[in-house]
């Protein structure tokens, strides 16, 4: 039985070592109240425990199904030679998947030139790399990493990824599952294997700025975001959404 230190009717206080059957102030039957409260608690527990158990089981089952559905698409080859590396499981804003190009472009500065045009707003998050890339080209023109990314392949929907898009790519590139699914592809260059032909390194440009003329890049080995001078040469790996 529970210990009561306050009478529920008059709020009279009792000492911790007291076990009164009746409140000396208002005459309230504390023993009956204690018993009734214990019975009600037991009834509530009998009802809630199965419901909570069912909810937990359903949550685990749904999470497992979503994980399997998402995992089944990661590493899947696309018609243009790219590989799916992110699946948000539903279509919104016209896309569901993020795809990475099979090859690195040559190492390049973020921009080879600087001009005085007003810099348009750059966005963060998934799906905004294309928006940023076109704004970068508006200011820096063809001599930029964004321009080279957009002009990759036979379509015009490739772009330079945002920090978040490239972070996801950095994480998945080291997963055993992704490596296993891409290892057998002859035309797919690893994102974290040293490039002996001079066409890449472990640091990849993003389409976001840390500050004026200091763009963000991702170190894929350490999965670390760094800000560098725009003139430094880093790898470019185009991505696209669909």
What would the pLDDT profile of 134-177 be if each residue is shown by its tens digit?
999 988 888 899 999 999 987 889 999 999 999 999 999 988 88
93: left (phi over 0), alpha (psi -120 to 50) or beta: left
Residues 174 and 227 occupy one common structural domain? yes
Q: Work out how many domains the chain is built from and give that number.
A: 2
Nearest to 122 by CA among 204, 205, 209: 209
Structure tokens at 123: 């966005």
Query: Domain ends where: 48, 73, 98?
Result: 73
78 domain residue, yes or no: no
Residues 26 and 68 occupy one common structural domain? yes
pLDDT at 198 over 50: no
What would the pLDDT profile of 64-87 be if each residue is shown by its tens digit?
656 555 556 788 888 878 899 999
Query: Domain ends where: 43, 73, 103?
Result: 73
Residues 28 and 92 occupy one common structural domain? no
Evaluate whether 12 touches 23 at the Cβ level (below 8 Å).
Answer: yes
Residues 230 and 131 occupy one common structural domain? yes
pLDDT at 224 over 70: yes
pLDDT of residue 35: 45
Provide the domain limits for residue 11. Answer: 1-73
Confidence band, pLDDT 50/70/90 cuts, at residue 110: very high
Q: How far apart are CA 122 and CA 237, in angstroms?
A: 19
What would the pLDDT profile of 35-56 be if each residue is shown by its tens digit?
455 556 656 677 778 788 888 8
pLDDT of residue 1: 46
182 domain residue, yes or no: yes
Residue ranges in the chain assigned as alpha helix (H): 30-73, 129-140, 145-150, 163-172, 176-183
Residues 46 and 3 occupy one common structural domain? yes
Q: How far apart are CA 160 and CA 148, in angstroms?
A: 9
């Amino acid at each position: 039985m529970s210990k009561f230190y306050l009478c529920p009717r008059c709020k009279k206080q009792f000492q911790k070592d007291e076990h009164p059957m009746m409140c000396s102030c208002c005459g309230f039957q504390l023993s009956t109240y204690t018993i009734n409260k214990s019975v009600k608690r037991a009834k509530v527990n009998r009802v809630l425990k199965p419901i909570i158990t069912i909810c937990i089981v359903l949550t685990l089952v749904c999470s497992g199904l979503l994980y399997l559905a998402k995992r089944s698409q990661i590493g899947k080859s696309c018609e243009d030679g790219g590989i799916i590396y992110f699946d948000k499981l539903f279509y919104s804003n016209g896309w569901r998947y993020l795809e990475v190009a099979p090859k690195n472009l040559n190492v390049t500065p973020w921009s080879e030139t600087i001009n005085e045009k007003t810099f348009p707003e750059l966005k963060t998050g998934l799906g905004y790399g294309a928006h940023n890339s076109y704004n970068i080209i508006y200011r820096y023109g063809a001599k930029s990493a964004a321009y080279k990314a957009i002009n990759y392949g036979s379509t015009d929907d490739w772009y330079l990824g945002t920090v978040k898009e490239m972070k996801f790519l950095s994480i998945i590139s080291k997963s055993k599952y992704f490596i296993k699914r891409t290892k057998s592809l002859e035309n797919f260059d690893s994102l974290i294997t040293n490039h002996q032909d001079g066409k890449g390194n472990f640091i990849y440009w993003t389409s976001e700025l840390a500050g004026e003329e200091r763009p963000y890049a991702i170190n894929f080995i350490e999965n670390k975001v760094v800000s560098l001078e725009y003139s430094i040469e880093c790898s470019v790996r185009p991505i696209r959404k669909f």
